[in-house]
Structure 1
């Protein structure tokens, strides 16, 4: 009984996409009252929950992974899988014989670029990298507590319930990873939806060129939109839709593709979406805590207690500082080796 009471009253600090910004993560943990004890950050009363995407892009990926894994193994943190951890597993896992490809995730210029910093920083630590890849299989796709939920990009009740029934829990194994390389499969739909979000296809002949230079025929959509009428009501991504597209009225077929997350559902936390500005809820029970840390935005956390309606006042964050000739011990200024 006492154990149940302790768990129910524990506070949680849900932390956004780190992407190798280890020094900034230390600053955020310090600000929230976490202290390094016997080499591991912990809080006397609270537990951190990382939203995924610890790897790729940033200058201290290896350091970040060690810090987070140490906290998880110590019990002072938990983590859900991000699409970048999933991508790393696919990129580093050989495809089955006879599949017509060498790797589950194709080694093309775009995929090479996305994982380059991670592989470079582990170049002299191949055994460590293999151990982290194995560890990724122990990271759940989602967390559901009595009063809140955590997933990297999208909470889809139907897919999650089917996944739990099929897998007997919240983690994938290599068989599921292999199956997920076929996007149209159940496994492919689970990984794409939960870790990348939902989308709609643009009208024929239209495409968006994102800030990353990647040309897309789809746009990312809200999974919580309430009675949307137009594309503008459902779009949720850093790159805006052209005005002539955003005013387009949703068809009945497009409506049927959209998810719904009722205002009566538990609060849910996501990362993934490269927000900017001052952190605040995007719905009374939905918060995105990815504020583009690795692009010199903010590394953000939400301090969750027992509330059912999320509050702007519960966000905490640190600004990511630009490099200053290595003089700032907390600047993201060098590559960990």
Structure 2
């Protein structure tokens, strides 16, 4: 069987339909039906940013309901649930408004505004789609591969698993526990849905693509010898941000080892350029479809011969 692993859609339904058609999927009046011996897998971040949020969700969930596709949760689906869920640990009063697990500050509201423009906060439609997002597992593993939005970290998964459903889906209680900053469940969830980070040297910071000040930097966890290289060598960050970091600054105490012999598929990382494996074992299918110049990307995984990973198995929808 061929698994069509599709990258971050971010509400670009036109790019999604274009890619599905290019891959040979045909809409049968209810859902996009795959060609013989194919199945789709969506690697998370279905929502936010684009102008076709509802259409993208309807396409994906019609395929999930028809059992011709699978999906894993992205950080944007998680954020949508946290943005809509009251924090039971906050104190409500006439002087203190309700607090949500994900604060309704300007940054978070801006990130989520495209979704809420189509699916108004608190509406019946909103409640419907939140319930459906809970159905998406945090990760999937089968005999031939591992699928997760940002990082296959079995130690973090072991922390999370006792609070999840049997299918590795969130419950509201798990959402609450993983939203408590600096807790063990919070750090585990961050690893799985956002990746591995390391602190910047004392006194240093950088500005990310959305203008947010960061004192930690995301690292390319799929590389070897993370603790023996400079931050410039291992960071997954824009050059404009890294320009503020001394070139000889070393990474320190990164506690991560990839513990699987199977290929690992992720999204999340806003790759650009010609698609290629990140390593002999890791593939990213996020090639920045959330911007006009980015291309929705798929990796076609042959379950009979999952390895070696090859650039020849990538397919991009070139919408230009």
- Report the TM-score, using the length of structure 2 for normalisation: 0.90
Match of 1:289 among 267, 271, 285: 285
Written as runs of structure 1 = structure 2, the 5 A alignment for 1:13-28 is 13-28=4-19
Match of 2:141 in 1: 144
CA deviation profile, 1:198-253 (whole Å, cap 9, x unmatched)? 11111111111123211111110122221232213321234551275343233xxx
Match of 1:126 in 2: 123
Match of 1:51 in 2: 43
For the residue of structure 2 that corresponds to 1:304, the secondary structure is strand
Alpha-carbon deviation of 1:123? Answer: 3.2
Match of 1:74 among 60, 63, 66: 66
How many residues are treated as equivalent by the alignment? 307
Alpha-carbon deviation of 1:78? Answer: 0.7
Match of 1:89 in 2: 81
CA deviation profile, 1:85-130 (whole Å, cap 9, x unmatched)? 0000000111116456521110000001000110011239932221
For the residue of structure 2 that corresponds to 1:54, the secondary structure is coil
Written as runs of structure 1 = structure 2, the 5 A alignment for 1:314-325 is 314-321=313-320
Alpha-carbon deviation of 1:163? Answer: 2.8
CA deviation profile, 1:48-83 (whole Å, cap 9, x unmatched)? 110111110101011000110110111111110000
Counterpart Cα distance in 1 of 2:6 and 2:237 = 20
Counterpart Cα distance in 2 of 1:181 and 1:163 = 12
User: Does the Cα contact within 8 Å between 1:237 and 1:274 map onto a contact in 2?
Assistant: no
Alpha-carbon deviation of 1:158? Answer: 1.4
Q: Does 2:26 match 1:35?
A: yes
Counterpart Cα distance in 2 of 1:49 and 1:174 = 25
Match of 2:172 among 153, 174, 184: 174
User: Does the Cα contact within 8 Å between 1:35 and 1:42 map onto a contact in 2?
Assistant: yes
Counterpart Cα distance in 1 of 2:33 and 2:183 = 40
Match of 2:103 in 1: 106
Counterpart Cα distance in 1 of 2:55 and 2:122 = 12
Match of 1:272 in 2: 268
Written as runs of structure 1 = structure 2, the 5 A alignment for 1:117-266 is 117-123=114-120, 126-167=123-164, 168-228=166-226, 229=228, 230-239=230-239, 240-242=241-243, 244-250=245-251, 254=252, 256-261=253-258, 265-266=261-262
For the residue of structure 2 that corresponds to 1:298, the secondary structure is coil
For the residue of structure 2 that corresponds to 1:245, the secondary structure is coil
User: Does the Cα contact within 8 Å between 1:219 and 1:237 map onto a contact in 2?
Assistant: yes
Q: Which moved more, 1:16-25 or 1:98-107?
A: 98-107
CA deviation profile, 1:142-170 (whole Å, cap 9, x unmatched)? 01111111100111011223433453441
Counterpart Cα distance in 2 of 1:281 and 1:105 = 34
- Root mean square deviation of aligned Cα: 1.9
User: Does the Cα contact within 8 Å between 1:291 and 1:300 map onto a contact in 2?
Assistant: yes
* Residue segments in structure 1 that go unaligned for 5+ positions in a row: 1-9, 322-337
Match of 1:299 in 2: 296
Counterpart Cα distance in 2 of 1:142 and 1:74 = 20
* Residue segments in structure 2 that go unaligned for 5+ positions in a row: 93-97
Counterpart Cα distance in 2 of 1:125 and 1:312 = 44
Counterpart Cα distance in 1 of 2:191 and 2:295 = 25
Counterpart Cα distance in 1 of 2:91 and 2:279 = 43
User: Does the Cα contact within 8 Å between 2:5 and 2:43 map onto a contact in 1?
Assistant: yes
Alpha-carbon deviation of 1:190? Answer: 2.4
For the residue of structure 2 that corresponds to 1:48, the secondary structure is strand
Counterpart Cα distance in 2 of 1:106 and 1:97 = 13
